[in-house]
Structure 1
Amino acid sequence: MSGKKLTCFKCGQVNRVPFDKLMAEPKCGTCGTGLMTGGVPEVDLATLEKAARTDDVPIVVDFWAPWCGPCRQMAPQFQAAASDLKPQARLVKLNTEDHPNAGAKFRIRGIPTMAAFSNGKERARQSGAMPSSAIVSWVKASV
Structure 2
Amino acid sequence: MEKEPIILLTHGGWGESLLQSVKMIVGQTDNIHEVVLKPEDNLQDFLERVKNQIDAVNWREKLLILTDIKGGTTSNVALRLSRDYNILALSGLNTAMLLDAVMKQATPYTETDGEEILQASLENCQILKLPTTN
Answer yes or no: same fold by TM over 0.5.
no
What is the TM-score when the length of structure 1 is the normalising length?
A: 0.35
Q: Which is strand-richer, 1 or 2? A: 1
